[in-house]
Amino acid sequence: MRNEVYVNNNMLTWAITRAGYDVPSFAVKFPKVLDWLEGQKKPTVKQLEEFSKKVYLPFGYLFLPQPPQEKVPIPFFRTSGNQADKISINVYDTILLLQQRQDWLKNYLKDNDFQHLPYVGKFNKSKDVKAIVADIRHTLQLPENWASQFRTWQEAQDHLVLHIEDKGIITIFNGIVENNTHRPIPVDECRGFVLVDEFAPFMFVNNSDFKSAQMFTIVHELAHIWTGHSAGFDFRRLQPANDPIERLCDKVAAEFLVPEQEFNRLWNQSPNNFAFASRTFKVSEIVIARRALDTGKITRPQFYDFYEEYSNREFAKKESQGPGGDFYATTKKRISITFASHVNQAVKTGHLLFRDAYKLTGLKGDTFENFFSKHL
């Protein structure tokens, strides 16, 4: 006997739409849904469980009388407009996932007598760009010319992230939902987001973005932590949304990476030489172009032309590299070394069960053991 169940058609169509499909396109992947919607058949429990996985929805939601009101968890800004009132399910689920990790870590740190981080929200009533930049540098123990000691901007970025993590800021690099390669996070929708908390701030950087653009996103998110505002953003063409906090954080990122006074001196020495300035400041040419735009040295159309040309070069380079990479090295960036270290310590001291550690990290069994014993 088939164990059939009744599900409201509104819930089925909502679940399909929520996952980013329309009914006809989803039916190509999952034909039996048409029989359910037309009333010809009822789903079995097993079929409904399969359906819920396809639409990334907790099974129990399907039995609600009507779709729940799901709000964007944090302010999400668009370069082309104001705040977004809707985001894709992949971005939504990633924010919720990191909020769950943040909630656990915050409680763990409090329970173990960690102190709140004094820099979080320190400048929530200030618009002084140079004061914010100076305090970030002081907190991270990075002098103004810190990047000059490195051979490449990628090495400088790795060094910066180490200092950020050392100060208790969890920094996540990922371009998919957890470890699911079938659920990409489009760069043109989400370059990154930041979850501000005085004990456990989290930063998310879309790892599918060009490496050359990620440095600006990182420092932009740092500015959000110092000003005390959680937010997400698409940051198209490295341009901020029309919002006071977004514009402030944008200015902080620019001044931190390419100090205006030194940039002016260098530009006068070698005008329009993006490559020379890039080597000097150890940031990508696209960040130099952004700084040139900010300081009135190039026009907006000139910046957009350069951005498109540079993006095409970066895309071709990325395509030539192809997929692949070391799983455990990637996992370090997806989880964050600092977060993983806290999870590891909690497991060792009996404050966290293995099953809960599996859920928090997205790793299980031998993969979990190998990561924590050999790669942490």
* pLDDT for position 173: 97
Domain boundary residue, one of 257, 288, 309: 257
- Residue 282, Cβ density class (10 Å: 0-12 exposed, 13-18 middle, ≥19 buried): buried
Residue entry with tokens 């790793």: 363
Written as six digits, the tokens of 117 are 């981080």
- Residues 57 and 152 placed together within one structural domain of the fold: no
- Residues 89 and 177 placed together within one structural domain of the fold: yes
Asked if the structure places residue 21 within a domain, the reply is yes
Written as six digits, the tokens of 75 are 């302010």
Domain boundary residue, one of 257, 276, 304: 257
Report d(CA 358, CA 328) in Å as an integer.
Answer: 15
**Is-contact 160 142, C-beta < 8 A?**
yes
Contacts with 55 (C-beta within 8 Å, 6 or more apart), sequence order: 15, 16, 18, 19, 21, 26
Q: For 2-52, write each residue's pLDDT tens digit.
A: 678 889 999 999 999 999 899 999 999 999 999 999 989 999 999 999 999
* pLDDT for position 222: 98
* pLDDT for position 149: 87
Q: How far is CA 2 from the centre of its chain?
A: 44
* pLDDT for position 313: 86
Residue 189, domain extent: 76-257
Domain boundary residue, one of 20, 39, 63: 63
Cα-based distances in Å from 132 to 135, 205, 240: 5, 21, 18
- Residues 29 and 122 placed together within one structural domain of the fold: no
- Residues 175 and 56 placed together within one structural domain of the fold: no
* pLDDT for position 2: 65
* pLDDT for position 323: 61
* pLDDT for position 322: 62
DSSP result, 163-226: HHHHTT-EEEEESEETTEEEEE--TTT-SEEEE--SS--EEEEETTS-HHHHHHHHHHHHHHHH
- Residues 59 and 199 placed together within one structural domain of the fold: no
CA proximity to 239, closest of 287, 171, 195, 184: 287
Report d(CA 194, CA 203) in Å as an integer.
Answer: 4
**Is-contact 41 32, C-beta < 8 A?**
yes
Q: For 243-255, write each residue's pLDDT tens digit.
A: 899 999 999 999 9
- Residues 41 and 105 placed together within one structural domain of the fold: no
* pLDDT for position 242: 83
- Residues 114 and 208 placed together within one structural domain of the fold: yes
- Residues 141 and 31 placed together within one structural domain of the fold: no
* pLDDT for position 336: 96
- Residues 55 and 143 placed together within one structural domain of the fold: no
- Residues 85 and 200 placed together within one structural domain of the fold: yes
- Residues 53 and 135 placed together within one structural domain of the fold: no
Q: For 298-331, write each residue's pLDDT tens digit.
A: 999 999 999 999 888 887 877 666 666 788 999 9
Written as six digits, the tokens of 226 are 């110092």
DSSP result, 127-172: --HHHHHHHHHHHHT--TTGGGGSSSHHHHHHHHHHHHHHTT-EEE
**Is-contact 77 83, C-beta < 8 A?**
yes
Asked if the structure places residue 290 within a domain, the reply is no
Q: Specify the long-range contacts of residues 286-292, CB closer than 8 Å, at least 24 apart.
A: 286/210, 286/212, 286/213, 286/238, 286/310, 286/311, 287/212, 287/213, 287/215, 287/216, 287/238, 287/257, 287/258, 288/258, 290/216, 290/238, 290/254, 291/254, 291/257, 291/258, 291/260, 291/263, 292/267
Give every residue of the chain whose pLDDT is below 70, as ranges: 1-2, 81-83, 319-324
Q: Classify 170 in phi/psi space as left (phi over 0), alpha (psi -120 to 50) or beta.
A: beta
* pLDDT for position 212: 76
